Chains A and B, each alone.
Chain A
Amino acid sequence: SYELTQPLSVSVALGQTARITCGGNNIGSKNVHWYQQKPGQAPVLVIYRDSNRPSGIPERFSGSNSGNTATLTISRAQAGDEAAYYCQVWDSSTVVFGGGTKLTVL
């Protein structure tokens, strides 16, 4: 079965740029979606189809996908960005989530 690998945690200084990776075999050939989840809340879609932002998501959130790695980039990180982030793809008619990355804003 297809697997997505994310780092358990990423730290970023306030106002700096955070990059969260999502690794998978030839993931560049798939559409990757990213979710933000804060404690006690449902996930929120922040990037869809590799690099598109839903309405209401700040331009500070961007995404890219190539080869074996997809990346979520958060520019000018704010305290409110502290959350868990999950990548997601479809593979063989099933949905696969990455294990999640806890982003800490210092």
Chain B
Amino acid sequence: QVQLVQSGAEVKKPGASVKVSCKASAYSFTGYYMHWVRQAPGQGLEWMGWINPNSGGTNYAQKFQGRVTMTRDTSISTAYMELSRVKSDDTAVYYCSRGDVGDFMVWGRGTLVTVSS
């Protein structure tokens, strides 16, 4: 079945970078945009941006521009989200989600990123 498998939990110190991966299976990886959404503890969903796996083109939410980089490796059907200069309020669960016709039908299970000194 269609699946997005994300990398494991990370603990980072303030100022470091974190890179989360999202491996797609059972569908054409280059046929759908991949989005990244995060959720801080006890908070709502926050969209971070998307990557077009076919072209590599990206669109980032203004809040994250300059700090986030989304990439992909089509040979292994994997998307990546790297967040730099992390702070304590970047502590959150980070989800990848396949973009369908405006909605998000398929989600990864999430990757907990903890930023702590």
Using CB atoms and an 8 Å cutoff, list the residues of chain A in contact with chain B: 1, 31, 33, 35, 37, 42-45, 48-49, 54, 84, 86, 88, 90, 93-100
B89 close to chain A: CB less than 8 A: no
- Whether A86 lies near B105 (C-beta < 8 A) is no
Q: How far is the CB of B50 from chain A (nearest CB, A)?
A: 8
- Whether B59 lies near A43 (C-beta < 8 A) is no
- Whether A33 lies near B102 (C-beta < 8 A) is yes
A98 CA to B43 CA, complexed, in Å:
11
A47 CA to B100 CA, complexed, in Å:
13
- Whether B47 lies near A94 (C-beta < 8 A) is yes
Using CB atoms and an 8 Å cutoff, list the residues of chain B in contact with chain A: 35, 37, 44-47, 50, 59, 61-62, 95, 100-105, 107-110
- Whether B102 lies near A31 (C-beta < 8 A) is yes
A35 CA to B97 CA, complexed, in Å:
13
Residues of B near A94 (CB, < 8 A) are 47, 59, 61-62
| A-B CB pair tally, cutoff 8 Å | 58
- Which of A42, A88, A98 has a CB less than 8 Å from the CB of B109? A42
- Whether A93 lies near B59 (C-beta < 8 A) is yes
- Whether A45 lies near B108 (C-beta < 8 A) is no
A84 CA to B45 CA, complexed, in Å:
11
Residues of A near B109 (CB, < 8 A) are 42
CB pairs A–B below 8 angstroms (12 shown): A31-B103, A35-B45, A42-B109, A45-B104, A48-B100, A48-B101, A88-B45, A88-B104, A94-B61, A95-B37, A98-B44, A100-B44
Residues of B near A86 (CB, < 8 A) are 44-45
Say whether chain A's binding surface is mostly helix, strand, loop, or mixed. strand
- Whether B103 lies near A43 (C-beta < 8 A) is no
A90 CA to B35 CA, complexed, in Å:
13
- Given A42-B95, A42-B110, A95-B35, check contact A54 B45 (CB 8 Å): no
Residues of B near A84 (CB, < 8 A) are 44
A1 CA to B63 CA, complexed, in Å:
12
- Whether B95 lies near A45 (C-beta < 8 A) is no
- Whether A35 lies near B104 (C-beta < 8 A) is yes
